Structure 1
Amino acid sequence: MSNPDALRNLLNDVATGTLSPDVALDKLKHFDFEPIDEFAKVDHHRLLRTGFPEVIWGQDKTPDQIAQIIRTMRLHNSVVMATRIRPEVYAQVQAQIPDLDYYPLARICALKPGQLEPRYAGTIALLSAGTADLPVAEEAAVTAELCGFRVKRLWDVGVAGIHRLLNNRHVIDEADVLIVVAGMEGALPSVVAGLANCPVIAVPTSIGYGASFNGLAALLTMLNSCAAGIGVVNIDNGFGAAILAGQILRTAHRLSSKGDL
């Protein structure tokens, strides 16, 4: 019952007398959260609170736990997704939930309608410095698409060959929010932010030689950027970058609908 339209329909049914208060109360029994055995409490209220439903962190959960959570969440949400899912884990979960889709590069599995259409105005452009950064970049791209946003991808445009980025300047110019993913020294977000007229979300990855300290060097570079307008998420956190980009676009849409823009 976390879908606002479903809740509105339920209240209308009670108001018109087509549904008794007792039946409605039973439907709302797990309105805020629902326990699953002893290992999880699914937050059904999150979509109403934040605009995005709860997403399953798949790493370190067992396939059976993931499957049970997905089965519970699918009753309340049109899209259910789990991140950091290894192929062998997906195979075991999919054996229990046959209609589960898998995005191997992004390491995401999801239940979704047959055809996903963007529900919000604006474009989130995803840029990756190198091919090795693609798992994190794809995690961001797939998350944004599953959440209803239009996504444009531009891969392998790192600063070691800056002409590759400059030849695609239109991608930066046409974006409403940019997510820039880079490992090694993490310089790409600074370059992009110096060219962009929209928010830039920087994502450091754990790609690099020993002195990169598993992404810490890239993280510090991004935090210390001299370019304005950059927000930085945690190392390898493509999911968090996508949600932040989505909140930016949703806030712009809300302000526009209120006439504040």
Structure 2
Amino acid sequence: MNLTALEQLLAAHRAGELETPEAVNRIQNLHFEDIGYARVDHSRASRQGFPEVVFGAGKTREQVVGIVERLLQHAPNVLVTHTDEGTFGEVRNISTEAEWHAAARLIRIQRDTTELGLGEIVVVTAGTSDIPVAEEAALTAEAMGNRVKRVWDVGVAGIHRVLAERSLLQSARVAIVVAGMEGALPSVVGGLVSVPVIAVPTSIGYGASFGGIAALLGMLNSCASNVTVVNIDNGFGAGFVASLINRRREEQSADGSSSRQRQTAGAASRSDRQEQ
């Protein structure tokens, strides 16, 4: 529920500006709003940290516009994924702040740019062909208030390319690694960093890749313990989960040090003992 909207509604009712039946109706709509072809979930942000996102595929342009229009009445930021430029034109008619991102096939309306992430999210692709899915992840994470770095085309066919970005990868709080073909890159990145790695298999590849199933199975069988996997081509899901991880504060010990700092210090101490 949008608490600001609820406070304004109750104030209007108390001041006599709003009749009780209308106030009750509006309070019900603060949770969700039934518009016939969709039940728009207005309380999603309070439960999950971000407003409902519109999956554009399979919806008419009129339906997308109708849902976006309702969401904008309760939320500052709106995303529409898997859509087209024609739909963007219609959305632009109701919001001049709408942006079209062609590579990701995504519409973004971002009126609140407050930074909520505690660190950076790094989004990595194995190949240039994986960029559309990676951009969906990056744009989602940015919309949720994160700083995002992009690293494109560092697949395992030229392993030196990803090793050249090792410092950047190790500075991230979360890494999103997007790959098609055999899906090997997330395991490589997982072996280089001490943070969660969200692997995204893509449908890029030749016949035996089976539209991303080969990459998906490879990632699910990763020997890197910090790798987790989302569905094929699900850049949005990766960006969303990475954002939630990046908002979580590290556990603090009594001396004020974080678990990651203690882990790093312990590793350095073990290294010193081994060298003696």
Q: Give TM-score scaled by structure 2 length.
A: 0.84
2 CA distance for matches of 1:60 and 1:116?
30
**Aligned counterpart, 1:30:** 29
**Aligned counterpart, 1:101:** 99
Q: 2:244 aligns with which of 228, 232, 247?
A: 247
Q: 2:138 aligns with which of 132, 141, 156?
A: 141
1 CA distance for matches of 2:30 and 2:114?
27
Aligned-pair Cα RMSD in Å? 2.4
1 CA distance for matches of 2:168 and 2:234?
22
**Aligned counterpart, 2:65:** 67
Whose Rg is larger?
2
1 CA distance for matches of 2:152 and 2:214?
21
Which amino acid in 2 is paired with 1:61? Answer: K
- Identical aligned pairs, as a percentage? 48
8 Å CA contact 2:156, 2:185 repeated in 1: yes
Shift of 1:120: 2.4
SS in 1 for 2:28: coil
SS in 2 for 1:81: strand
Shift of 1:10: 5.4
8 Å CA contact 1:64, 1:93 repeated in 2: no
Q: 2:215 aligns with which of 218, 222, 229?
A: 218
**Aligned counterpart, 2:83:** 85
User: Aligned residues, how many?
Assistant: 253
SS in 2 for 1:34: strand
1:201 pairs with 2:215: no
Q: In the TM superposition, what whole-angstrom CA distance separates every residue of 1:42-72 from its partner, at most 9, and x where no partner exists?
A: 0011111111110000011111100011111
**Aligned counterpart, 1:161:** 158
Shift of 1:126: 0.3
Which amino acid in 2 is paired with 1:164? Answer: R
Which amino acid in 1 is paired with 2:74? Answer: H
8 Å CA contact 2:118, 2:249 repeated in 1: no
Q: In the TM superposition, what whole-angstrom CA distance separates every residue of 1:189-235 from its partner, at most 9, and x where no partner exists?
A: 00000001100000000000000000000000000011111110000
1:174 pairs with 2:171: yes
Unpaired runs of 5+ residues, structure 1, are: none
Unpaired runs of 5+ residues, structure 2, are: 259-276
Q: 1:47 aligns with which of 39, 45, 59?
A: 45
- Name whichever of 233-242 and 93-102 sits farther off: 93-102
8 Å CA contact 1:67, 1:97 repeated in 2: no
